[in-house]
Amino acid sequence: MEKDVESVIDTDENQFYSKAKIYWSKVSPTINGVLGGFGHISECDINGSELFLKSLFQLKNPPGNGRALDCGAGIGRITKHLLIKHFQLVDLIDQNSDFVEKAKEYVSSDRLGKLYCNGLQCFKPEEKYDVIWCQWVLGHLTDEHFKQFMENCLESLNKNGVIVVKENITSSNEIDVDEEDSSITRPYDHLLKLFEESRLKCILKQQQTSFPKGLYPVKMFALRPV
């Protein structure tokens, strides 16, 4: 890995997180808000994720359908439109208390389990999960916290459990820094290296299709312990 995230962000680690917190505190608790004005891609995104999840359930040793965790869940968009349809219970975590509060009303299902308001950089799952879904949030973590979080997730997987990572990928080999929301976008090889260093192996990957031109390519990875 040429550079790590820690060396490309302008600020120190605490500021990297506090700037993100301030950014999200000004965003409305709506689908359009959590998707940065791209609310119109939500349906297409969920359809792509649905296909990916179905492929996971068709594996020879598929994950169970007991409990899932939605990480960086925002107002629970993925929980409501995807995870709740496939799992008995779905927990969610986001660092923004307004989003977590809104999620109760937005998801409104007795399958909604525990709601955590915390940063992933300080979070260790306390339950066991069949699927841990991380989408459009890992760019808010430094490389060190990314690896720590993945290792924490690994410890909380049920037998045949899977961590799903769905993230933007840079087309260049450079890490892109977004000063506005205080996040970064990693190149493909960088992500693979982080998986490897977190003792994760990729058992399935797919590219999200049909997104409007001009957006980052988005890839989905299903990860299990090496």
Ligand X SMILES: C[S@@+](CC[C@H](N)C(=O)[O-])C[C@H]1O[C@@H](n2cnc3c(N)ncnc32)[C@H](O)[C@@H]1O
Q: What residues form the annotated binding site for S-adenosyl-L-methionine? A: 72, 77, 120-121, 135
CB 74 to ligand X: min, Å: 3
- Tell me if 29 contacts ligand X by CB under 6 A: no
160: contact with ligand X by CB under 6 A: no
Q: Does 146 bind ligand X (CB under 6 A)?
A: no
Task: Choose between 151 and 160: whose C-beta lies nearer to ligand X.
Answer: 151
Which of these ranges, 5-13, 57-65, 117-125, 185-193, lies near ligand X under the rule CB under 6 A? Answer: 117-125
Separation CA 150–CA 125 (nearest Å): 11
Q: Smallest distance from the beta carbon of 159 to ligand X, in angstroms? A: 26
Does 106 sit near ligand X (CB under 6 A)? no
171 in helix, strand or coil? coil
* Contact indicator for 39, 32 with CB cutoff of 8 Å: yes
> Of 78, 103, 165, 218, which lies in the binding site for ligand X, with binding defined by CB under 6 A?
78
In the list 137, 163, 194, 218, the residue contacting ligand X (rule: CB under 6 A) is: 137
> Which residue, 139 or 187, has its beta carbon nearer to ligand X?
139
Token pair recorded at residue 81:
């439109």
| 73 lies in the binding site for ligand X (CB under 6 A) | yes
Q: What's the min distance (Å) between Cβ of 200 and ligand X? A: 19
C-alpha 61/C-alpha 203 separation (Å) is 11
- In the complex, minimum distance from the CB of residue 177 to ligand X, in angstroms, rounded to a whole number: 15
> With binding defined as CB under 6 A, does residue 140 bind ligand X?
yes
The site for ligand X (CB under 6 A) is made up of: 17, 20, 24, 34, 72-74, 77-78, 94-96, 99, 119-121, 135-137, 140
